[in-house]
Amino acid sequence: MARLSGKTAIVTGAARGIGAAIAARFAAEGASVAVADILADLARETAAGIAHETGQKVIALACDIADAGSVTTMHQAARDALGPIDILVNNAGVNVFREPLQSTREDWARCMTVDLEGAWTCTRTVLPDMIARRDGAVINIISNHAMVVMRGTFPYPVAKHALLGLTRALALEYAGQGISINAISPGYTDTALAQEVFDKSPDPAAARRSVEARQPPGRLCRPDEVASVAVLLASDEARFMIGENVVIDGGISIRMYEDSD
């Protein structure tokens, strides 16, 4: 039987990349899915494609997770179309990579509002229904920047470290009410976001090759490899996992003294 049969899910930032892969896997496992994204047209295209491939109910909802009103409207529309939400994946995120003293207050605010507060806004919106039904799973897509840091990427790791704190704080708070809250921390994953980083270097192809060579498996993570773990955390198979952070980074964050920088 499909592992998410009959469940309803909201995946934020699901118009493309890791979120789109998670939405597709959830639908393939029998869930009805809301593809919520600030890129409304792309979200519609992605949702239609997944619905066509899987035969599941997959809807697109325009939403800016930095705007609490937009999140409330999105949740209401998802609820109306799919029923009460069983699974929330907080995946939407942005890269704000600066040298700390060169960064502006606006950089800080954008990073914290989208990468950290957005997840809390979405979670606090779905939690009351989940608590009332004593059933729910929340999955935060963090990053290995939640455990290790890289120069020149400020304040992204600050937000991602805090998102791990948010995951643990909420996980413990609601574990007794039937809710499981966990996280996944991918390493370098082959998406538009990663490509944007390569494109900033003078030779994007060489930058990609260099990053690939530094990964212990010699390649980037694939979005579907993150989606496989998201299916497990969303399913009833993982309900005793509380506040965990599953790292999928090809082992780069456990490595010592093998790189020059």
Ligand X SMILES: NC(=O)c1ccc[n+]([C@@H]2O[C@H](COP(=O)([O-])OP(=O)(O)OC[C@H]3O[C@@H](n4cnc5c(N)ncnc54)[C@H](O)[C@@H]3O)[C@@H](O)[C@H]2O)c1
Q: What is the largest CA-CA distance in the chain?
A: 54
Separation between Cα atoms, residue 76 and residue 147, nearest integer Å: 35
The CB-of-99 to ligand X minimum distance in angstroms stands at 19
Task: Pick the piece of the chain touching ligand X (CB under 6 A) from 1-9, 60-68, 99-107, 208-216.
Answer: 60-68
Q: Does 66 participate in binding ligand X (rule CB under 6 A)? A: yes
130 versus 252: smaller Cβ distance to ligand X: 252
Task: Dig out the tokens for 99 from the structure.
Answer: 């040298």
CB-nearer residue toward ligand X: 32 or 91: 91
Least distance from C-beta 41 to ligand X, angstroms?
11
Question: Which stretch in 49-57, 102-110, 184-192, 200-208 sits in contact with ligand X by CB under 6 A?
Answer: 184-192
Least Å from the CB of residue 18 to ligand X: 4
Tokens of 183: 């996280």
| Smallest separation, CB 33 to ligand X (Å) | 15
Q: Which is nearer to ligand X, 14 or 135 (CB)?
A: 14
Is residue 186 within the footprint of ligand X (CB under 6 A)?
Answer: yes
Determine if 15 is a binding residue for ligand X (CB under 6 A): yes
Comparing CA positions, the residue from 87, 83, 104, 69 lying closest to residue 12 is 87
- 65 lines the binding site for ligand X (CB under 6 A): yes
Among 7, 10, 12, 238, contact with ligand X (rule: CB under 6 A) = 12
Cβ of residue 177: shortest distance to ligand X, in angstroms?
Answer: 26
Report which of 136, 145, 142 is spatially closest to residue 171, judged by C-alpha positions: 136
Cβ–Cβ under 8 Å, residues 246 and 183: yes
Looking at residues 104 to 123 of the shown chain, list those that interact with ligand X (rule: CB under 6 A): 114
When asked if residue 92 is in the footprint of ligand X (CB under 6 A), the reply is: yes
DSSP letter (8 states) at residue 12: E
3-state SS, one letter per residue, for 182-233? EEEEECCECCHHHHHHHHCCCCHHHHHHHHHHHCCCCCCECHHHHHHHHHHH
Coil/strand/helix, residue 178? coil
251 Cβ neighbours under 8 A, 6+ residues apart: 216, 217
- Smallest gap, in angstroms, from Cβ of residue 65 to ligand X? 4
Any residues with CB less than 8 A from the CB of 234 and at least 6 apart, and which? Answer: 4, 7, 9, 26, 31, 87, 89, 137, 139
To the query of whether residue 156 is one of the catalytic residues in this protein, the response is yes
Residue window 221-260: x/- pattern of binding to ligand X, with contact defined by CB under 6 A: ----------------------------------------
Active site residues: 156
Note the residues at the interface with ligand X (CB under 6 A): 12-13, 15-19, 37-39, 63-66, 91-94, 114, 141, 143, 186, 188-189, 191-194
